[in-house]
A = this chain, B = another copy of it.
Amino acid sequence: MLILKKKDIIQHVDLNEDLIPIIEEAFTSLSKGETVMPPIMRIDIEKFHGESDVKAAYIDGLDSFAIKIASGFFDNPKLGLPSSNGLMVLLDSETGVIKSVLLDEGYLTDTRTAIAGAIAAKYLSNQDASTVGIIGAGIQARLQLKAILLVRKINKINLWARDKVKVDEFIDSLKDLKIDINISESCKDLASSSDIIITTTPSKKPLLEFDWIKKGTHITAMGSDAEQKNELHPTMIKLCDKYVPDSQAQTTILGELHHAIKENLISPDDKFDDLGSIIIDPSLGRKNKEDITICDLTGTGVQDTAIARYTYNICKRNNLGIKT
């Protein structure tokens, strides 16, 4: 059994192009029904403004699968601690024997989430999309931006976040990028000049409205991973040309779709092509340059299994970690 610490993991796993096919394959397995992916388990500790989620997925044919714990404790920054934390456990598919405990502290979750954003943009945004609007200024804002650069030639970044101090820090972290950076006055302002918009907030009220979105825009909403979270006005799901969930079973409960169903804008019986289906057959996605597309990411266990396996193999090959 191999115990891997974050310091081991970051030596060999980082947000790069190699991960794109790894995570794509996870999504296509999910779409093909070749997976066992139970509903997310959530332990809410309201008293401390915290929650722990458990995600898991077995992908048929793979010799291992992951069970992942990811926690968000939102008062932690006041204590000088990061909000996010967690670990992944990799189990042998045939025997249940634990192959590895990956003490990644949420790093792998952050990474696979950003890669999903890159994949969404790769398949759904226009090829010549060159301006990205990022809403939010947390870790995922930075990682989603880094990820999008893997798949699109971006020459302008629009930023908007509630916390102006964080926006300044974010801009500071981008100074080596040599890309034009603009602080938007509002989300409406941001939307009016972005080809791709990525929402990365824990907002409980919609930040974007359909009328603000220009023709041809692709939007990835990745902030909502709980019932009460909501970044897009529910009408956007109904009015856009293509709505794509990572897992409809999850977005029906947790994602942007959930709010559109609750408002009776979408029937709970409607079926949408998911991200894996679009990867398998990209013609199911954007039909023309004017389409407005939305990808709703809630984060799936198959992504965790894919990145945990990748990380374990690469670290094992490099003799990293503690063998027990």
Contacts and interface: CB of A to CB of B under 8 A. Distances in A.
Interface of A: 1, 3, 5, 36, 38-39, 41-45, 47-48, 50, 52, 54, 56-58, 60, 65, 67, 69, 71-73, 76, 79, 81, 85-87, 89, 91, 93-98, 101, 103, 322, 324
22 contacts: A3-B324, A5-B324, A36-B43, A41-B54, A43-B56, A43-B58, A43-B65, A45-B58, A45-B93, A48-B93, A48-B95, A50-B94, A54-B54, A54-B56, A71-B91, A71-B96, A76-B96, A79-B95, A81-B97, A85-B97, A85-B98, A322-B322
A202 to B, nearest CB: 15
Specify how many copies of this chain sit in the oligomer: 2
A155 to B, nearest CB: 39
A92 to B, nearest CB: 8
B65 A67 contact: no
B89 A69 contact: yes
Residues of A contacting B: mostly: strand
A50 B85 contact: no
A171 B56 CA distance: 40
Contacts of A38: 41-43
Nearest to A89: B69
Per CB-CB distance, the 3 closest pairs between chain A and chain B, nearest first, are: A71-B96, A73-B96, A41-B41
A76 B48 CA distance: 41
A33 to B, nearest CB: 14
Q: Which of A43, A65, A98 counts the most B-chain CB atoms under 10 A from its CB?
A: A43
Given A1-B103, A41-B54, A45-B58, A96 B72 contact: yes
A5 B45 CA distance: 28
A129 to B, nearest CB: 37
A121 to B, nearest CB: 30
Contacts of A57: 43
A226 to B, nearest CB: 13
A37 to B, nearest CB: 8
Nearest to A96: B71
A303 to B, nearest CB: 15
Given A48-B95, A54-B54, A69-B98, 13 more contacts: A3-B3, A38-B42, A39-B41, A43-B56, A45-B58, A52-B56, A67-B69, A69-B91, A73-B95, A76-B95, A85-B97, A87-B89, A101-B103
